[in-house]
Structure formats: C-alpha cells, structure tokens
Structure 1
Amino acid sequence: MTTAISAAQNFDCQSCGACCAYSADWPRFSLETEAELDRIPAQFVASDLGGMRCVNDRCTALAGTLGKSVGCAIYAVRPIVCRTCMPGDEECLMARERLFGSAA
C-alpha cells in the first residue's frame, strides 16, 4: 500500500482544511471551461479572475475552523485544482505540514 493511500484512510478533509488555506496562489483556474467558471459565485473569485479569492492564504469559500470542522461553500462547483487534491497526496501532506507542523 502506498503512503498516499494509507494516509488517505486516516485523513478527514472535513476536519482539516489545510489545502484550502495553504497559499493564495494555489487555487488557480487552469483547465476549467467558461461554463464551469460561470457557476462559481463571483464573490469567491479573485479580482484578477485567475483563481479563487483568498484572504491571506485562505480561500474565501472555506467555512469553519481549520483543524476542527470545515467545509467548502461551493463544493459542487469547485475548481479543478480543488477536485484533484486528494487526502494524503503530496499537496495534502505539504499543506498539513505547513499549517499544523505535521502531516498526521
């Protein structure tokens, strides 16, 4: 079993949120169609229209308290970069390390 797979079994995204508060540069739009982008509410889109709006490093669509209980206000229409980040993958572990001091 790979590290990412075993880690994913132990990581609950709804009690973490690290990937959504890692960097204001991370939630960038890349492969979305115009129709997909149009479904994201304008208040969550950065002023340069290149990604999600963040306050400091935290995506404004993230609700709740990091490390306790979080959820995405636009989960059903979130950008591709958010859809591809998986529990226990390299990006997940990097974000957890930065915010919590460990990936566990």
Structure 2
Amino acid sequence: MSDPNPCLECGICCTHFRISFYWAEADDAPGGFVPAHMTEKLNHHMSCMKGSNQLPRRCSALEGEVGKAVSCSIYENRPTPCREFPVFFDDGTPNPKCDELRALIGLPPIEPLGFPRAA
C-alpha cells in the first residue's frame, strides 16, 4: 500500500506563495497547458495564478479547506513552480519548508518516506 499524499490534507503552500511562471505555460500560448483564465499577467515575461498575487493569498485552482482536505482543480495542468516544489527530497526526507508551513495551521510534520506512520 502506498503512503497517502500529505498534500491532500494540507494545501498551505497554495495560500502562502505567489505562484509565478513564464507566460507561455498558459494555454493561450502554443504548447501551453495552464488554463489562461486562471492566470494573471505580471509583466511581459511572467504570469501568476490568480489569487496568489495579493493578500490573503489563495490560488484559484485550490479546492477544499486548507488543513482538512484539498485538491488542485488543474493538477495535470499545474504550472512549473507547483510541479517542482518537492514534498520529499530524493532520499525520502520531507521538505523542511513543508513542515514549517504545516505547523502554521497545526498539522504535524511529514514522516520520511519508508518509515511507518504513527497510528
């Protein structure tokens, strides 16, 4: 059995960071994949996910209640920063930034991969 995805109970990163990326990742550019209607222009080269450029932040693609149950409505078409933010590093250790953000909403640290989870 695989470990459950800790992101599905958290989502705090989607309310903490401005999610900015190269404008051509949006689907109104040839080869783009991020739904353009969910983005806003930052400058000639960069866009960001709507909702992530002002306070309070909340990415327009985030669904559900942070700290309880969340999902990304465009997971298969999410921008590069979301794809590249690791919950776990290659050796299975959790990203300390995840644990830092999780603590802000009262969630416990993430267990390293390969270790049994506490019941």
Same fold per superposition (TM over 0.5): yes
**Larger RCO, structure (CA 8 Å, separation 6 or more):** 1
Instruction: Assess if the C-alpha contact under 8 Å between 2:61 and 2:74 holds in 1.
Output: yes
Relative to the length of structure 2, the TM-score reads 0.62
Aligned to 1:37: 26
In 1, distance between residues paired with 2:6 and 2:106? 17
Shift of 1:103: 5.6
Alpha-carbon offset, residue 101 of structure 1: 5.1
Cα distance, 1:84–1:15 mapped onto 2, change above 3 Å: same
* 2:34 match: secondary structure: coil
Determine if contact 2:67/2:107 at 8 Å carries over to the other structure.
no
Give 3-state SS (helix, strand or coil) of 1:59's partner. coil
- By percentage of residues, which structure has more helix? 1
Please give the alpha-carbon distance, in whole angstroms, between the structure 1 residues aligned to 2:51 and 2:61.
8
Alignment partner, residue 60 of structure 2: 60
Structure 1 pair 21/52, CA: closer, same or farther in 2 (3 Å)?
Answer: same
In structure 2, C-alpha distance between the alignment counterparts of 1:91 and 1:28, rounded to whole Å: 18
For 2:48, which of 46, 51, 63 is the aligned residue?
51
Q: Aligned-pair RMSD on alpha carbons? A: 2.4
1:95 to 92, 96, 101: 101
Please state how far the C-alpha of 1:28 moved relative to its aligned partner. Answer: 0.8
- Compared with structure 1, are the counterparts of its residues 70 and 82 closer, same or farther at alpha carbon in structure 2 (3 Å cutoff)? same
Residue identity (%): 32
Q: Secondary structure at the match of 1:60?
A: coil
**What's the secondary structure of 1:95's corresponding residue?**
helix
Moved more, 47-56 or 57-66: 47-56
> Structure 1 residues 78, 14: CA separation in 2 closer, same or farther (over 3 Å shift)?
same
Partner of 1:4: none
Indicate how the Cα distance of structure 1 residues 43 and 58 shifts in structure 2: closer, same or farther if over 3 A, else same. same
Give me the TM-score of the superposition, normalised by structure 1.
0.69
Aligned to 1:76: 76
